[in-house]
A and B are shown apart, each in its own frame.
Chain A
Amino acid sequence: MQLRFLRVIFICLMSVAGMVSAAADLEINTPAITALKNSMQQRHNQLAPYYVSGAVGLTRDGQIVLRDANAVPLPQRQAVNALVGAENQDRSALYREIARANQHPEWESEIRSTFAGRWIEKAQPGWWVQDSQGGWKKK
Chain B
Amino acid sequence: MTKKSCIALAALLLAACVTINIYFPAAAAEKAADKIIDEVWQLKDGEAAGGKGDTGSTDDRPATKPGATK
Contacts of A79 in B (CB 8 A): none
Q: Which of A2, A15, A25 contacts B32 (CB 8 A)?
A: A25
A115 at the interface (CB under 8 A from B): yes
Complex Cα distance, B41 from A39, in Å, reads 12
Instruction: Say what secondary structure dominates the interface of chain B.
Output: helix
A12–B20 touching, CB < 8 Å: no
Counting contact residues on chain B (CB < 8 A from A), the size range is 20 to 34
Chain A, 42-61, CB within 8 A of any chain B CB:
44
Residue of B nearest to A24 (CB): B28
Query: CB of B70 within 8 A of chain A?
Result: no
Asked if B36 and A26 make an inter-chain contact with CB atoms under 8 angstroms apart, the answer reads no
Contact of A20 (CB < 8 Å), options: B14, B20, B43:
B20
Q: Which residue of chain A has its CB nearest to the CB of B6? A: A5
- Answer whether residue B40 sits at the interface, using C-beta atoms and an 8 A cutoff: yes
Interface string of A100-120 (1 = CB under 8 A from B): 000010010011001101110
Report whether A23 and B28 are in contact in the complex, using a CB–CB cutoff of 8 Å.
Answer: yes
Residues of A within 8 A of B (CB-CB), count: 35
Q: Which one, A15, A24, A33, A44, contacts B17 given CB within 8 A?
A: A15
| Distance, CA A115 to CA B13, complexed state (A) | 33
Residues of B within 8 A of A (CB): 2-3, 6-7, 9-10, 13-14, 16-17, 20-21, 24-26, 28-43
29 pairs of residues in contact across A and B, judged by CB atoms under 8 Å: A1-B3, A5-B6, A5-B10, A8-B6, A9-B10, A9-B13, A12-B10, A16-B16, A16-B20, A19-B20, A19-B21, A23-B25, A25-B31, A26-B29, A26-B31, A26-B32, A28-B35, A28-B36, A41-B40, A41-B42, A44-B41, A94-B36, A115-B33, A115-B37, A118-B33, A119-B37, A122-B37, A122-B41, A122-B43
Smallest CB-CB A-B distances: 4 pairs: A12-B13, A5-B6, A118-B33, A26-B32
